[in-house]
Amino acid sequence: MESAQFLPGTLHMLVLKTLARGPMHGYAIAKRVKEASVDGLIIEEGSLYPALNRMLVKGWVSAKWGTSENNRKARFYSLTPLGKKQMQTEADEFERLVSAIQLAMRTV
Amino acid sequence: MSQALEWLRCCAYFFRRTGVDHELEKEASLHIEMRSAELEASGVLRAEAIVQARREFGPVLRMQENSREAWQFAFLEQTVADLRYASRQLLKSPLFAMVSLLSLALGIGASSAVFSVVYGVLLHPFPYKGAERMVSLGFLLSGREVQDLLKTNVFDGAIAVDSWDMSATGKNLPEAISAGKLSANAFEYFGVPPLLGREFRSSDGPLGKEPEHLVVLSYAFWQSHYGGDATVLGKVLQLDHVDYEIIGVAPQQFALFHSDVYVPLRLTNDPDRIETVDARLKAGITPAAAEARLQPLIESFAKESPKHFPPNVKLHLTKLNAETEQRFQGTLMVLFVAVTLLLAVGCANVSILLLGRANARQHELALRSALGASRERVVKQLFTEALLLAGIGCLLGVGLAYSGIPLILRWLPENSFPNNAAIQVNGLVLCFSILAAFSAAVVFGLWPSFRSSRPDISRVMQEHTKRAGGSIRGQQLHTALIAGQVALTVLLLAGAGASIRTFLQLYQSRLGFDPRHLLTVGLQFPDGTHLQIDERQNFYSLVRQKAAQISGVTAAAIYPFGFPPQAHFTRRLEIFDQPSTQGHAVYTNPVSREFFDALKIPILQGRIWSEQEDQRAAHVVVVNEAFVRRYWFAGNVIGRKLRLPNFKAFTWWMLARPNTNDWLEVRAVVGNTPNNGLSRPVGPAVYLPYSLVLGDSFHLAIRTKGPPLAIAESFRRAVHTADPAQPVNRIATAEELLSREGWATEQFVAKLFLLFAALALILAAIGLYSVISFAVTQRYRELGIRMALGAQRTAVVRLIVASASRAVSAGLMGGLILCVLSNGALKHWTRGSMYDSGVILFVAVLLLLVMTVASVGPAWRATTVDPMTALHHD
């Protein structure tokens, strides 16, 4: 499911970060993640939806059916306060992990 | 908090999951549509755009499944689906399911039920406080002596007990009631609280004073006579014309002497009113240490009142359950071993069945893997199946255990337990059996996933279509399991054979008398009546005459108590001119002259004393064959003299003629009848006129023409005409008495053993049958090819049976070796021996026969294989 390039858990973080800008439907999230990472991160778009569902279960995001920009019925996801907190925790954690790896790469 | 919310969200999902599925589908199609529209806008052809969008999205179904899994409940759904699938699988092969469940249930149920009885009888037989420290002194002591004993600091309590028959009076017909007479402190000593009301206590019967007239009812008596009525307290029960106030009801577990009622015993300082004494050792004092410390005291008692103690008195403390333990320990241990063997055979059977199934399912599992099932998923599914099977099997087993205990108890000889309420299903053993059976089911249920970490899919798939023979490895395991099963079955069969032989030997052993058409009745004088020896003798004689006159009675004889296979009592012997015999013990039976006639004991030499001699208590004696063998090797026996120096009873309820210790003249020699239990050799015994010593109770042996119990009512009426106040206390046929005397125990063991052996044999046969059926299925193509190439049917049968016969013969050999090895243990516990050519031959033949039937059936089916069908068979 996850492409090899993904560090585990980073998909959640990216999605949460994307949603911080405002409610979005699934396709928009996928497009946004792809664009922002300038093709550096390739995700199988289908794997986005299970991740969204997991976050729904966790209560990090909420979903609502609405009308898309081209007037189609679409499901809009938005960040909950809990999700905001989670995003911060994950981002900090990721930062810590990356700097630890960098430190290790320099010293070894 | 967030956990709970999560759970709530999942619950909400569970109820609208079809809606969610629909939404996911919509989302996916929208996504793909949007992407393809975008691609199209950038100049890609429409058809190509859709394909690319789809590719980028990935498999839609997997996305949906993964999304559903996110909702946690997916796990539950999977389990439900697995369970549904598993039960379908079981229903699809009902025979497999039935046999596996039966094996599990029998293994668990039978072993738990029997062990629970073992536990109830041996390990926890009494509901009393500190029961394991309770001992019986084996002497009759006076009240003052008991007080002295208690001062020694060896015991922390003692009671005097007596079991007595009283008559319930005040109604039309007197009714015999067995009364436990207990010193007033008894209930405090036992520490068993009453079910209702109160029990009597020390203050109700102080030493040397007449106790209060109080009665505590036993649970059984309360149920049978008062229908369990709680208002019984305060009512009056008249016993031997004295009113007793009912103060309480003992709980069901309290069944001392199996008495109907308990009344306080009169404890006196009078050295002649002496009673049996039970005591509880202080914690930390062993019986041996107590014996050593009390011996001087007992010797001083003996010095003070020599007639109440045997010469060279030696104290021996008997533990409370020593007798039960001795009688049943061996039996129950052997049964428990048998049941463990049955459990092992049952587990082996389940293993064999599951193993066969596992091999047959290799193809299915390979297919699942090929379709993308992960290994975890396959293991989970197999595990669910194993759990379902084991779960149902264990439930059935538990049910069997609970319903089996009453059945076993009904089979047990009467009065063989101190109480019968404490026997419940033993939780520990139930858990043990369940664990054993469960592990077997789960381990072998998961077998296919153990066999290879990842099945070589293509190999299995192709092999299946081209296979000619089964895999070697699976067969080896099968052979080992079958051999083990057969070995254990042989052991069980041999054990059953040995115990049946023991029983048959007992049955056929010469009783020396004819127990058929023989009734025994017991009468006990109400307390304080018939105190004159002549009056007693007249009454004995009157009742005997009335019994003999009942139509259908051919003979009636008086005997005080001991009926074969038990003697009345033992006495010291002294033979005239043979001083070396002094001090030998001899079984002594005071009887009326008709005794030999009534029991049909053959008279070998001389003549029985006359009726006049009975009347005047003549100094004559009849000896048994064993006596002659032991003391008079040659020469004429008749007319010789012997005496019983301590014949005159020291028990106060016995009245004796003067000079009972004088020389007695031998008049006749009679055949042997057992006098020391059914299983031990007959000892030297003497019979002499009953009129020499007369107790306050006696029995009649009545020989009848028809069924013995038919005259019981006439006898009751006859006794009533002799003395309206006299109840008839005991009525039993001779055959009933025999069954109480170990006869029934042996029969019980033989039955249970036979049952277990039969079950094991059936299970082993089923195991073998399924293995061979499985082999035939596996080698279907090979057999087809052989038949097509012209193989004879017999050759094919031989081929199939050959592998099975290897397993069976290995098992048979192993089983016989086990028999020889464990024979010592069996002999230690019971009298039976498995090392008996008859038993072993029988076992071997029976086993081979059953195994042949079990294996030839499916093998013959193999020969009906049509070569063409077989070759096309997948």
H-helix or E-strand spanning residue B196 = strand B196-197
Q: What pLDDT, on a 0 to 100 scale, did the predictor assign at position B452?
A: 45
Of B147, B427, B390, the residue nearest B267 (C-alpha): B147
Residue in chain B lying closest to A47 (CA): B63
Residue-wise pLDDT tens digits, B174-195: 677 788 888 888 888 888 889 8
Out of A45, A47, A59, the one facing B9 most closely (by C-beta) is A59
User: Of all residues in chain B, what percent carry a pLDDT higher than 70?
Assistant: 84
What residues of chain A lie within 8 A of the CB of B72, using their CB?
A: 57
Q: What pLDDT, on a 0 to 100 scale, did the predictor assign at position A3?
A: 40
Q: What pLDDT, on a 0 to 100 scale, did the predictor assign at position A1?
A: 38
Identity of the amino acid at B24: L
Out of A27, A30, A50, the one facing B70 most closely (by C-beta) is A50
Please enumerate in sequence order all residues whose Cβ is within 8 A of that of B459, keeping only pairs 6 or more positions apart, or say none: none
What residues of chain B lie within 8 A of the CB of A24, using their CB?
A: none
Buried b (16+ CB within 10 A) or exposed e, B615-647: eebbbbbbbbbbbbebbbeeeebeebebbbebb
What residues of chain A lie within 8 A of the CB of B68, using their CB?
A: 53
* Confidence bin at B652 (pLDDT 50/70/90): low
Beta pairing partners, A61:
A79
Residue B529: both structure tokens together: 């009546």
Strand B569-575 relative to strand B196-197, pairing: unpaired
Q: What pLDDT, on a 0 to 100 scale, did the predictor assign at position B215?
A: 93
Contact A26 B30 (CB under 8 A): yes
Of B785, B771, B784, B800, the residue nearest B864 (C-alpha): B784
Of B99, B218, B28, the residue nearest B762 (C-alpha): B99
Compute the radius of gyration of chain B from its Cα atoms: 39
Residue A107: both structure tokens together: 């010293």
| Mean predicted confidence (pLDDT) in B107-118 | 77
Residue A6 has pLDDT above 60, yes or no: no
Q: What pLDDT, on a 0 to 100 scale, did the predictor assign at position B60?
A: 81
Phi, psi of B427 (to 5 degrees): -60, -40
Residue in chain A lying closest to B8 (CA): A57
B159-163, B286-290, B654-658, B858-862: lowest mean pLDDT where?
B858-862
Residue of A49, A77, A82 for testing the chain B interface, max B β-carbons within 10 Å = A49
Q: What pLDDT, on a 0 to 100 scale, did the predictor assign at position B519?
A: 93
Tally of residues, chain A: 108
Q: What pLDDT, on a 0 to 100 scale, did the predictor assign at position B555?
A: 94
Angle at B52 between CA B46 and CA B57, to 5 degrees: 125
User: Of all residues in chain B, what percent carry a pLDDT higher than 90?
Assistant: 11
Q: How far apart are CA B198 and CA B208, in angstroms?
A: 23
Phi, psi of B572 (to 5 degrees): -75, 145
Q: How far apart are CA B596 and CA B607, in angstroms?
A: 11
Q: How far apart are the first and last CA of chain B?
A: 57
Q: What pLDDT, on a 0 to 100 scale, did the predictor assign at position B121?
A: 64
Strand B685-689 relative to strand B620-624, pairing: antiparallel
Q: What pLDDT, on a 0 to 100 scale, did the predictor assign at position B610?
A: 93
Strand B584-591 relative to strand B569-575, pairing: antiparallel
Q: How far apart are CA B630 and CA B628, in angstroms?
A: 5
Q: How far apart are CA B155 and CA B536, in angstroms?
A: 41
B105-119, B175-189, B543-557: lowest mean pLDDT where?
B105-119
Tally of residues, chain B: 874
H-helix or E-strand spanning residue B442 = helix B427-445
Distances (CA, A) of B162 to B112, B142, B184, B633: 37, 13, 12, 43
Distance from CA of B405 to the nearest CA of A (A): 52
A19-33, B188-202, B577-591: lowest mean pLDDT where?
B577-591
Please tell me whether residue B360 adopts helix, strand or coil conformation.
helix
Of B484, B502, B497, the residue nearest B834 (C-alpha): B497
Distances (CA, A) of B510 to B562, B564, B674, B871: 18, 12, 9, 68
Q: What pLDDT, on a 0 to 100 scale, did the predictor assign at position B466?
A: 44
Q: How far apart are CA B391 and CA B393, in angstroms?
A: 5
* Confidence bin at A5 (pLDDT 50/70/90): very low
| Mean predicted confidence (pLDDT) in A22-26 | 88
Q: How far apart are the first and last CA of chain A?
A: 33
Residue in chain A lying closest to B33 (CA): A27
Contact A53 B67 (CB under 8 A): yes
Average pLDDT over all residues of chain B: 79
B225-239, B404-418, B531-545: lowest mean pLDDT where?
B404-418
ipTM of the complex model:
0.82
Residue B766 has pLDDT above 80, yes or no: no
Which residue carries 């073998």 as its tokens? B768
Please enumerate in sequence order all residues whose Cβ is within 8 A of that of B474, keeping only pairs 6 or more positions apart, or say none: B355, B359
B5-19, B247-261, B681-695, B750-764, range with greatest mean pLDDT: B681-695
Sheet with strand A61-67: strands edge to edge: A24-25, A73-79, A61-67
* Confidence bin at B469 (pLDDT 50/70/90): very low
Q: What pLDDT, on a 0 to 100 scale, did the predictor assign at position B599?
A: 92
| Mean predicted confidence (pLDDT) in B691-706 | 90
Out of B9, B58, B72, the one facing A44 most closely (by C-beta) is B58
B505-509, B642-646, B865-869, range with greatest mean pLDDT: B642-646
Q: How far apart are CA B526 and CA B727, in angstroms?
A: 8
Out of A27, A46, A75, the one facing B60 most closely (by C-beta) is A46
What residues of chain B lie within 8 A of the CB of A56, using their CB?
A: 9, 70
Residue of B27, B29, B36, B40 for testing the chain A interface, max A β-carbons within 10 Å = B27
| Mean predicted confidence (pLDDT) in B844-852 | 82
Residue B419 has pLDDT above 60, yes or no: no
Q: How far apart are CA B795 and CA B786, in angstroms?
A: 10
Residue-wise pLDDT tens digits, B513-532: 888 899 999 888 887 788 88
DSSP class of residue B469 equals S
Task: List, as one string, the DSSP characters of B757-800.
Answer: HHHHHHHHHHHHHHHHHHHHHHTHHHHHHHHHTT--HHHHHHHH
Contact B71 A50 (CB under 8 A): no
Contact B58 A45 (CB under 8 A): yes
Q: What pLDDT, on a 0 to 100 scale, did the predictor assign at position B1?
A: 53
What residues of chain A lie within 8 A of the CB of B30, using their CB?
A: 25-27, 68, 72-74
Residue B690 has pLDDT above 70, yes or no: yes
